[in-house]
Each structure stands twice: as structure tokens, then as C-alpha cells.
Structure 1
Amino acid sequence: MDTRQKLIQVCAALLKDSGRELSMRAVCEAAGVKAPTLYHHFGDKQGLIDATVEDAFDRYLTEKLNKNSTGNLVEDLRRGWDLHVKFGRSNPVLYKLMYPELDLKNLPPAAEKSFALLSGAMKQVEKKNLLRSSLNAEIATHAFWAGLYGMMMLICNNNYQQDAELLSEIVRDAMIDALLQTGQPTSEVH
């Protein structure tokens, strides 16, 4: 592992343990480097945080992209939601840094990629005529995203872990039921 990657991993671990309070001295000590090395690689504290967020998002997207499609659009939406929630629950501080606010016009690049994946999935759902008649893929994407983002902010801002999995499943399935018209149980839609 190179020094830059080691600093990113140390930063991620310290953010996870200490929340948003991050000392560059603590990062350097934990990584076994001097401050000039950190500043050489990242410029400043924000540069290190940005690189750490980008690295976490890249790992998340790699996992998401490596999940093979089930061939069932609804099941794939469920799996995408669950993976997103799992990542956020495991990395609440990094998640809040990735999505400091719900501004779809100013998302970090990796967050844009994640949003584009959701948008593409909703376009497929629309193409199969599975959306409720009053909806289009753009509205469905924004609605689904709003539900997911709200769920994640409840978990991350309140350290809500009690029954988080069950609550997430309820909100996820309510979103799917509200957006899709399948005429059959959603688990059977292909």
C-alpha cells in the first residue's frame, strides 16, 4: 500500500471513530508520517477528507456494479437500496460527508455516478411500463432518492441503529409500491 492510500485509510478509520473531529496530527501519527508528507499528497485537511470520501464512494460503487442483475427490475431496486443503506450504516460520518445536503445539482462526482445508476434503473422500469401512469422516470428517480436519502439521514444523523434494517425495508417497499404499478406482487416483476 502506498503512502497516499495509507493516509486515506487512516483518515477513514479516524473519521469513523471520532466523527467529524479530525486532527491532521492524529492522522500523521496513525499513518507514521510527518505533516509535510500529508500536505504533499493532499494539500490540506479538506483535500484529505475529499480524497477519503472519493475513495469510500469508489469502493461502494465497485461493490454495487459488481452485483449482477437478478433479471428482475424490482428486486434490483431493492438490492440497490439495501446496499446503499448497508454502506451508510457502516460509514455514517463518511456518508454525511458524501451527501452534505440534498442538492442534486452539486453532488460530488462519485455521488453523481450513484445517482446516474438509479436514474438508469428507473428508465428501465419506465421502458417496461411499470411506473404508475402519472409518473415518469425522472420523477420516480427523485422520489426514490428522497426516500433513500431521508432514511439515511435518520440513520446517520441520529445514530439510529435499533430496528434500522426493518425500518429501511418498510420505507423501501413503500417507495416501490408507491412508484410501480405491476398488477402483481412486485417480487414477480421481470
Structure 2
Amino acid sequence: MESHDVTGADGHRERIVAAAARLLAEEGPDAVSTRAVSAAAGVQPPAIYRLFGDKQGLLDAVVADGFTSYLAGKTAQGPGDDPVEDLRTGWDLHIGLGLANPGLYTLMYGRYRPGAPSPAALAAFDVLAQHIRRIAEAGRLRMPEDRAAALVHAAGCGTTLTLIATPEDRRDPELSSTAREAVIAAITTDAPAATPGPVAAAVTLRAVLPQTDALTAPERGLMREWLDRIADRPR
């Protein structure tokens, strides 16, 4: 009979997630069935339902575990002196993760679930948003932060999924770097302009607005509204 104490539950959870991750890496998402995972982990199927709710809950746990490790390594490096160069590094890490762990990556980004992104995907996007914010604070972002982050995200995911779907011997080795530089050119300037245009100036000021204590909260809200109108206005 299975133990129901906390230690036993934690041990079962770790063993089940590890078994599912092995099946995912070796055979792909379709191999991660409740029956196969329970056999590989040495537990009864009801343990999976008790700990994860259903198969989707188990898959979410596998993705979260894999991306927790990925994000820990990604954020441990700390920011560099050049936020645009940090964005390049982040892009390359993202592509590298997808190619090294195609099953995990496909679960995270390749299976559309309307309105229900995984917690791991949200955490990864938050790291990207922080990169974009630093570029804005440096006065080098040429469009609103949300749009820039969405563009980098879309291009990075599309590039990674395209490479995953292409046989390794047919992959274009320059595809990732070409896409990366095209996106960076679209969202950034080479250096802060001595006299930036109104959109670039509004984007930069909006990014650093939380750092000022010269305004009251209502005044910051009003300033933010004005900056939003300038930054988001079509050029």
C-alpha cells in the first residue's frame, strides 16, 4: 500500500516527473501516457492522478521542472553591460534549449492551449520582458515594450519550432542568427539618439518612470497615460 505521508508523496512526485521526463526526451510527447509513466516510475496509476490531477497536470509538472532548471541557469549569469548583447545571448539560449530538448520545448510552445499558457512559459516570457525593459531604460528601444517583447517571442518560438521540425542534416545553420539580427534591428537603435523622436523618448521615459519619487502616485498614473498615448501611436 502506498504511503500518504509528505515525504512519500514528494518522493513519488519526483520519481514520476523524472520518469515522464525520460520518456519525453527519448520518445516524444506521445509516449508520455499514464500507463507508461507509472510503469517507468514503479508506482500505480492512481498515484499520478492523486498527485497531478490528470495527464495534462503531469505534463505541466514536467515542463515546469525542465524550465525551472533552464531559467535558473539563464538568470544566474546576471545582466551584462550591454542589454542588447544580453538579448542576443538570451535568444541563443532559447534556441539551444529547443534543439537540445525538442520534446520539452514542443510541449511548452508547440501545443496551443487557448488562454492557458503554462506557468513555465509565463516565467520565460517574464525574463524576456526584463531584457526588453533594460533596453528601453538604456534609450535604445524604438517601439513599445509589449510589442517588442511579443515580436521577439514570436520570432524566437517560430525559429525554434522550424528548426526542430527540420531534419538535422537539412537545417540552415544561419537561420537563427539571421532571424535574431533582423528582430534586433527592428526593435532597437544602434545607440541612444542625442535627440530622440517622441516615440523613442516616451518609451524610454515610461521604462524609467517607476524609478522616480518626484511624482505622487496619481501623477505617475497620469504621466503613464500620456506616455502610453505617445509611445503606442502609429508612426
C-alpha displacement of 1:165? 5.0
| One-letter identity of the residue aligned with 1:149 | C
TM-aligned CA distance change 1:38 to 1:106, over 3 Å: closer
Matched, 1:12 2:36: no
Q: Deviations over 1:147-189 (max 9, x none)?
A: 1011122123x144344653212211221122211159xxxxx
Asked if 2 retains the 8 angstrom alpha-carbon contact of 1:154 and 1:160, the reply is no
TM-aligned CA distance change 1:49 to 1:164, over 3 Å: farther
The 5-angstrom pairing of residues 1-190 of structure 1 reads 2-21=11-30, 22-99=32-109, 100-101=111-112, 106-132=116-142, 135-156=143-164, 158-162=165-169, 163=171, 166-182=174-190
C-alpha displacement of 1:68? 2.3
| One-letter identity of the residue aligned with 2:133 | K
TM-aligned CA distance change 1:97 to 1:74, over 3 Å: same
Gaps of 5+ in 2: 1-9, 193-235
SS at match of 2:174: helix
Could you tell me the percent identity over the aligned residues? Answer: 36
Q: Deviations over 1:35-78 (max 9, x none)?
A: 23333322322221121111112112111111222221111101
TM-score by length of 1: 0.83
Q: CA RMSD in A?
A: 2.3
TM-score by length of 2: 0.69
Supply the distance in 2 between the matched residues of 1:82 and 1:181 (Cα, whole angstroms).
20
Point out which structure has higher relative CO (alpha carbons under 8 A, 6+ apart): 1
Supply the distance in 2 between the matched residues of 1:76 and 1:9 (Cα, whole angstroms).
31
Gaps of 5+ in 1: 185-190
